[in-house]
Structure 1
């Protein structure tokens, strides 16, 4: 009897995980990605800073990538790196800066990761039902501006959640 209950609990957990995966994938619909980019771009225009925005999935693959006209060319490299950094570290990139300074617990991690990590603001992981599903990176302005636009993008992305319920 215990084996049967244990097996049913395992099946329930697998079904729950599968449902979360299916629901979170719905957040990556073209419509939700485009709306997220549009709202983030609107925020960037409001504060008068052209940026590049990258929305990546759990594998770190960019699912949508957009560079506003006049965004700094370096932002083409930094936006996806910010998204990947937030994803890999499961933390906002703004929170990594202090730890990567001399005497910090993560000092020199950027070097050890062959330059793949960015440890300044503008990258935020996306959590759905307490599971990480992707990340957004924004680059082109001051780090505080990138962070503000990125926060707007994450909020907008997660508003698509209501259309993801099965």
Structure 2
């Protein structure tokens, strides 16, 4: 399965919709399997850091083929990935909101990043809602 622009835009819109339902203001980004930005959306009033963090969460998720909130555990001091956040010129983001996107065969075809909620668990929830609404898993 190939991740196309229309799907990427739907994922961003679904993440934004989930945030609006929760009273949040976020940014959402989708990258392809190579980490290249396909789509981005920022809600009115969303934090300025989201323009960097959402794409970087998506990039981190696709590059590591793992959810960023899961990477946070492995990257903690003493963990097997300790120091990961300093890799890739600091582009890896190891707090919640980034999910890998998988095709029907389980292959990672891209990444979704959501950023802007005060609690990263809310970013995760918005990203998960967007993935549930799509043909990706």
| Fold in common (TM above 0.5) | yes
For 1:134, the equivalent position in structure 2 comes to: 110
Match of 2:132 among 155, 159, 166: 155
Show structure 1 runs of 4+ deviating over 6 A: none
For the 8 Å contact 1:55–1:62, the answer to whether it is kept is yes
Structure (1 or 2) with the larger CA radius of gyration = 1
CA distance in 2, matches of 1:39, 1:33: 10
- Measure the CA separation in 2 of the matches of 1:33 and 1:98: 28
Aligned partner of 2:24 in structure 1 is 49
* Structure 2 Cα separation of the partners of residues 54 and 136 of structure 1: 6
Return the alpha-carbon distance in structure 1 between the equivalents of residues 93 and 29 of structure 2: 14
Aligned-residue CA RMSD (Å) = 1.6
Secondary structure of 1:72's match? Answer: coil
User: Aligned equivalents of 1:58 and 1:156: distance in 2?
Assistant: 20
Hey, which of these two has a bigger chunk of helix by percent? 1
1:143 to 120, 124, 129: 120
Alpha-carbon distance, 1:39 to partner: 2.1
Q: Are 1:58 and 2:39 an aligned pair?
A: no
Q: Kindly indicate whether the alpha-carbon contact (under 8 Å) linking 2:5 and 2:38 is maintained by their aligned counterparts in 1.
A: no
Matches within 5 A, 1:96-111: 96-111=71-86
Contact kept? 1:122, 1:139, Cα under 8 Å: yes
Task: Check whether the contact 1:33–1:157 (CA below 8 A) recurs between aligned residues.
Answer: no
TM-score, length basis structure 2: 0.91
Partner Cα separation in structure 2 for residue 41 and residue 98 of structure 1? 26
How many residues align? The count is 135
Per the normalisation by structure 1, the TM-score is 0.76
Structure-2 separation of matches of 1:119 and 1:49: 21
